[in-house]
Amino acid sequence: MAVKKILNADTSNVVEEMLSGFLSAYRKYYKKVGEYNAIKYRQSRKDKVALVIGGGSGHEPLFSGFCGAGLADAVACGNICASPNPELIAEAAKSVDQGKGVLFIYGCYAGDNLNFDMAEEICQAEGMKTAHVRVWDDCVSAPKERITDRRGIAGDVYVIKCAGAACDAGLEFDEVVRIAEKARDNIRSIGVATAPGTLPGNDKPTFELADDELEYGMGLHGEPGIERTKMAPCNEIVARMYSELQKEMELKEGEEIAVMINGLGSTPLLELNLVYYELAKLLHRDGLKVYDAEVKAYCTCMEMGGFSITILRLDDELKKYLDAPCYSPYYAKGSVGVETTSAEDTEEEEEPEFDENDVEAAVITRSKEGVLEELNAEDTRNMLLYIADKIIANKPYLTEVDSAIGDGDHGIGMAGGMQKAKKKLLKMENQENVYQLFEEAGKAMLMSMGGASGVIFGSLYLAGAKGMDPEAVITGDHLIDMEKKSLAAIQERGKAQVGDKTMVDALVPALEAMEAHRGEDLLTILKAAEEGARQGMENTKNYVAKFGRAKSLMERAIGHQDAGATSVYLIFQGMREFVEGDLK
């Protein structure tokens, strides 16, 4: 049975509309950061380190619900289950920076890591002091020796709480970072899924799970866990999860802990409290002292069924920051004496118009009939427009490919980024520098897509063109030189190699094929690139993923092609089709 969602017919603006509703309801506490999908707390204390959090939307109340007194100062909100882009993150940070430094806290996912890293570079270039703490509490998503590959789930809540308290206590920057890292390093979580979620705009759920099945260790976006089994009674499920946490943390009798039972979206409080009832018996049996407990949905994925258990090992220092008063509409402790501004006194803030689909249809033209031997600026603009339309048209296909081993958002992200690139290109008539067109299209993608794809595919255009001497036309050799620069930048930032099941698996053989034909005509070079990318894409079916959400699948990813590699193939195919005059 299909999941019913209360959404508008056009789901492309769901994040903007969600934030508008949130800000309308809680305007006495929060305001929007410029025209960005970011919010900041109106009453942040002065002369302190600023705390900025963020990640993909669709996990509410994380992250927007953890901004407030004694919590984060600002939140950067990405698209559904996709990282916010670097510009958005940087602007959120700049809006709350008080000169004492900015700490970023977010879950450890490829897209978040790439985009927050780039945002820090932007902030540091403007003289800001920054640091980040990546939360990696999901203890079954990678072995201990690869702890930095683990993903962040509900443990974010405890890290944000302790870090926010440290900021509001007036601690120096390095001390705030130390407290946040200490909290992070003493937190472990494990989740179990009983039903999938469905992302707005997608017809299919993020994964499939039979009615009589559950998955231990399921990730927040639907990443498979350590084992799929038949449904079991609550006490058996909890015992299995506690066993994994106990083995990981080596908890000893007499230790004090904080415990969180987090609902993933659709599991009711009746069941969540039953989970805690069963867990409390096991904790008591082992002589563990529960200092604090939380039972609620804090970190969700739409209507995903199931829950996670998070344990924070405590000492006197962490207890102080865990106990410190805080307030937001979705999370509060103690009394903070919050002074609020009445809704009547707040200035009316005009919301900017934004429509993701407000892009006029491109009319594709070419400078001549037949094969193009080189590309002038107008041909280049039209080629990039043609590629953008091709990717947008293939959104359902890319979504289907990504859904097999990811969370199904690659098609949405690529189509959205190409829409922004298209909108930019349509305004760039009468250009003289070919590279400027690639650069501006890449910037538009980078600053709009979010997720790992935003940084990587934005760099595919941007990194190769940036710094090139202006050219009125480009040949096949120019294109080879540009793609070499792009590949180097992508691998420097993302660290992926051939065989890691990423877009690099298609880009490397495409470039090698191009190099083999250096000095030949443009069409020959692009035909070779297309075939190299196609073969590289096909080869990804044989690989185990090393990056992204598919890495948790391990051998189960074999047999499925990578969505990023598929996009690379479609881009080179689009280039060849335009140059040959074979427009579809």
Question: Which residues are tagged catalytic?
Answer: 221
Strands (E), 18-98: 30-32, 38-41, 50-57, 74-80
AA letter at 421? A
AA letter at 522? L
Q: Which residues pair with 294 in a beta bridge?
A: 260
- Rounded Cα distance, 372 and 364, in Å: 14
Query: Locate tokens 């060849």: which residue?
Result: 576
- Rounded Cα distance, 198 and 58, in Å: 10
What are the backbone dihedrals phi and psi of residue 433, each rounded to the nearest 5 degrees, phi first? -105, 115
Do the beta carbons of residue 507 and residue 568 sit within 8 Å?
yes
- Rounded Cα distance, 271 and 584, in Å: 53
- Rounded Cα distance, 166 and 175, in Å: 8
- Among the residues of 126-230, which ranges form H helices? 156-168, 173-185
Pairing outcome for strands 187-195 and 305-313: antiparallel
Do the beta carbons of residue 327 and residue 334 sit within 8 Å?
no
- Rounded Cα distance, 27 and 343, in Å: 7
User: What is the chain's Cα-based Rg?
Assistant: 25
CB atoms within 10 A of CB 367: 11
Q: Roughly what angle, to the nearest 10 degrees, separates helices 522-539 and 563-580?
A: 160
Query: Locate tokens 């415990």: which residue?
Result: 259
- Among the residues of 130-268, which ranges form H helices? 156-168, 173-185, 234-249
- Rounded Cα distance, 247 and 197, in Å: 29
Nearest CA to 572 among 497, 491, 493, 512?
512
Q: Which residues pair with 31 in a beta bridge?
A: 40
Query: Would you report the helix, strand and coil content of the chain in percent, each value rounded to 5?
Result: 45, 15, 35
What are the backbone dihedrals phi and psi of residue 523, each rounded to the nearest 5 degrees, phi first? -65, -40
Strand order in the sheet with 102-107: 30-32, 38-41, 74-80, 50-57, 102-107, 130-135
Q: Which helix (H) or strand (E) holds 525?
A: helix 522-539
Tokens linked to 4: 């019913």
- Rounded Cα distance, 481 and 463, in Å: 11
